[in-house]
Structures are given as C-alpha cells and as structure tokens.
Amino acid sequence: MEPGKQYKNPPLVEVVFELFFNSKDWQPIVPILFYDKIKTVLPKVGQNSAVNIELNKKSLRLLGGNENIYQYKSNDGSTLVQLSDRLFTVNKLPPYHGWESFYNTIKIAYSFFKEIMPEVDIEKVGFRTINKIDVGDHNLGKIKEHFNYYPVLPENVDNNTSSVDLRVENSIVPNEEVLALKLQTIKQEPGYVAPVLFQYYVLRIEKVPNDVMGWVSNAHSVVRETFSKSLTNHSKQKFDEQ
C-alpha cells in the first residue's frame, strides 16, 4: 500500500509470515511448550491437516498432504499461528488493524518460537499478502481498468476473455530472494460479481539473515510498494469507499 496509507475498505483477505525450517530440530513436545507461552495471546488450540510444501531453489508449490499442523488462534479466529515439524506461520485475517499491529504479533510469536528452538536451522522465510476485489466483469478491459499488469494478447484474440491466471516472478537478490505476483480471476461468490485474487509474495530461498524481523519489515515495504504501483488509481479509490 502507499506509505502511511490506511484504506477504509482494504482488499486484504489474508497476510502471512512464514518460516520453513529443518525438521531435524523438531521434538514432539515443541507444540506443547509453544502453547504454554502463546496462550495468553492466542488461547485457542487445535490440530488440522496441512499441505505439504515442496521447495526448490527458485520457488515452491503446495501439495495435498496428511501432515498434522498445530493451530493457535485468537478468540475471534482472525489471528493464528500454525506450527508443524518444518513450518511456522503467523496469519492475519480481517479485520486488519495495520502493519504495526501485525508486526508486533509476528515479533511476539517468533520470539516464543526461538526461545523453544534457539538453534533451529531456518531454510526459507516468506511474507505474502492475499487480496481480492470485484472488477465487475472478467474481460481484459476491466482487468486493465483495475491493474497495471495484465496479459498481452495476440492480435487475433479479442479482449472478451473469460478468465485470467497470471504469475510473474522477479529476482530481488539473484538466486537468493524472489518477488512473486499472481493475478487470478475466480468464480462468482456472494458479494462479488467478478472477483479477482491478487497476491504478492517475497520469499528468501537462500542465506536467510539472522535478523528475521528486519527482513520481514523490508519484505513488507517491497510488498507495499508493489501493491501501490500495480493497481490503478481507479482501483485504489474503491478501497476508500465504505
């Protein structure tokens, strides 16, 4: 988002901080010890079936799986931490109270995680935002009306597209850090005539810095700037409407 800009009606669906770590550092008692520390902040605890995450040097993909993941939630369910034998995430769902609030939640949860696993080998660290807006129609003209990035079509293909699925990856640090943008039309749902999901994801894939909190702060700045530059003024004006 624009520096210092707090929209009245932000398009945010979810914001996620995530760590991928070496499972050799895992002990079965870790989820219990973590809950003992986080329970005053996130009192609800449970287990869920997780996806398996396949990583390579440049990107990741999600696969179906039966891995158990522990979830620690706020009373209203809008803030949660997820923990498995190789994944640690901090997630925020609406209402979103701004970056400083979410940053403090990450800081608290990550400090507890490090207290329990001080020598953990962190392999990857990521920060992503998932957003959704209604563009009115899934044709290319409407996509261009709302976004500054979109597919370029051959001359023999008109603008009457019915769906778009676009992914772009940009190297921030060659072979070490990547910024991914994803734009995807999805099916009509309550409250949305022609919804579009758009995601921004910064992933550190090599040489994770010791200052993880400094890294995530910088990653947020990258995402915020990319958000601002990839949407048109017409689109951003909607976020200030009640």
Write out the residue range of the structural domain in which residue 123 sits.
Answer: 12-238
User: CA dihedral in degrees (62, 100, 41, 118; nearest 10)?
Assistant: 70
* CA max distance for the chain: 62
The stretch 94-119 carries a mean pLDDT of 96
Does a structural domain hold residue 122? yes
pTM of the model: 0.89
Higher pLDDT, 162 or 231: 231
Distance linking the first and last C-alpha atoms of the chain: 18
**47-51, 63-67, 177-181: range with lowest mean pLDDT:** 63-67
Does a structural domain hold residue 33? yes
- The DSSP-derived string for 131-161 is EEEE-SS-SHHHHHHHBS--PPPPTTS-S--
The tokens describing 202, both together, are 């910064």
Does a structural domain hold residue 127? yes
pLDDT reported for residue 43: 97
Q: At residue 15, does pLDDT exceed 70?
A: yes
pLDDT reported for residue 240: 74
For the stretch 178-190, pLDDT in tens is 999 999 999 999 9
The tokens describing 186, both together, are 């999805």
Does a structural domain hold residue 3? no
pLDDT band of residue 239 (cuts 50, 70, 90) is confident
Does a structural domain hold residue 7? no
Residue 174 CB coordination number (10 Å) = 8
Does a structural domain hold residue 4? no
pLDDT reported for residue 51: 46
Q: How far apart are CA 5 and CA 175, in angstroms?
A: 32
Instruction: HSE, CB side, 13 Å, CA atoms: give it for residue 14.
Output: 15
Does a structural domain hold residue 2? no
Does a structural domain hold residue 6? no
**Segment 25-28 long-range contacts (CB within 8 Å, at least 24 positions apart):** 25/117, 25/119, 25/120, 25/121, 26/85, 26/86
pLDDT reported for residue 160: 80
Domain count, the chain: 1
